[in-house]
Structure 1
């Protein structure tokens, strides 16, 4: 089964290089709206369903795409961005000031999909992987013969690359679309 995952358009927090996670629920900014509108002009329109994270930036992106595609939009908690805990809304520079050398270790663990934000009130990689794989199993069971578009977040796309392509991705651009065999 093939799935297509889109990262939401840009927000002001993205523009300012802040970690968003689940606790930051920013809407798309003007650039983000334009990014998704441009994608909607280029994307296939034969999707049967669009799944989206319930966070505003993803829902707005899904709604813009759905207006062009004409597919129903279904919200799924399992594809929300990871929870960065106390670091939500902070930049990596702010994290370095607070954590010192440990921030570099956390960034490396993030790249390797082995992060743990639980000490800061957030999620670990296993938490995010578990809920995402639960969603993937649901897709395989209930949507195997459907063309599925998923609108999610950078962390989910990095995880999908790691799980399905066996590559590590440091950054995913806003409004990027990737195809995966699951």
Structure 2
């Protein structure tokens, strides 16, 4: 079966939830006061400008290097990123729930401090099992997320043989696509995960080289730092939990 020619993944832009969560973590709080359910968290003003920068990157690609299709997580912040970035490019897009963010179950809306203080047994179990296999009650492990990503990528290979596919997804899925594309081990993935924070609207891509996909770039943000690229907006700095 013919494989994908090119695969890329973009993390969504900075969301209002990202802003609130960062303040909760750095402020030593136990809980993250985000009013929406995770699927409904929107982009912040900075996030929308970051998505526009991704659109400029796409517009600068040669015609024969453009994606043939974009596949998008159903979460609002990711759909908004894709809508802004794709704009009037003519690149078709589909929403697929298999690209949704990892579900955290009982850990949802807790900071690291909060998990340790409120759920010490889960904190210890996570430390023992490791991020790859630990499944919080009501949530998913990274291995669980990989099952749906494998299913999605298999269908994309079948439906778009030799195609060029762009994914709009989340931080965990960004890392796990790399795991699949480069056929990494758990240890190799964890080494990358511990050393890397995937930036909002970062881009990673892989190109077909014989029987394998070769990495072109990982967690690339140069498009966010070019002249005229977005800076953090004051409305995001001033954001407070509601």
The one of 131, 135, 145 equivalent to 1:116 is 135
Q: Tell me by how many angstroms 1:35 deviates.
A: 1.0
Any unmatched runs of 5+ in structure 1? none
Rounded to whole Å, the distance in 2 between the matches of 1:68 and 1:105 is: 48
Q: Does the aligned pair in 2 maintain the 1:5–1:179 contact within 8 Å?
A: yes
Report the secondary structure of 1:4's partner residue.
strand
Q: Which of the pair has more CA radius of gyration?
A: 2
> In the alignment, which residue of structure 2 is the partner of 1:78?
98
Shift of 1:14: 1.3
Moved more, 49-58 or 65-74: 65-74
- Cα deviation, 1:85-142, whole Å, max 9, x if unaligned, reads 12222222221222337536636822xx22312x2x1122332111110001001111
What residue is the counterpart of 1:34 in the other structure?
Answer: 49
Bigger mean CA offset, 166-175 vs 99-108 = 99-108
What's the TM-score once normalised by structure 1's chain length?
Answer: 0.85
Identify the residue that residue 52 of structure 1 maps to in structure 2: 72
CA RMSD after TM alignment:
2.4
TM-score (norm 2): 0.66
Task: Name the count of aligned residue pairs.
Answer: 176
Corresponding residue to 1:177 among 203, 206, 226: 203
Counterpart of 1:96 in structure 2 is: 116
From 138, 159, 171, the counterpart of 1:142:
159
Q: Distance in 1 between matches of 2:74 and 2:11?
A: 13
Counterpart secondary structure, 2:173: helix
Do the aligned residues in 2 keep the contact of 1:40 with 1:68 (CA within 8 Å)? no
Quickly say closer, same or farther: Cα 1:69–1:91, change in 2 above 3 A.
farther
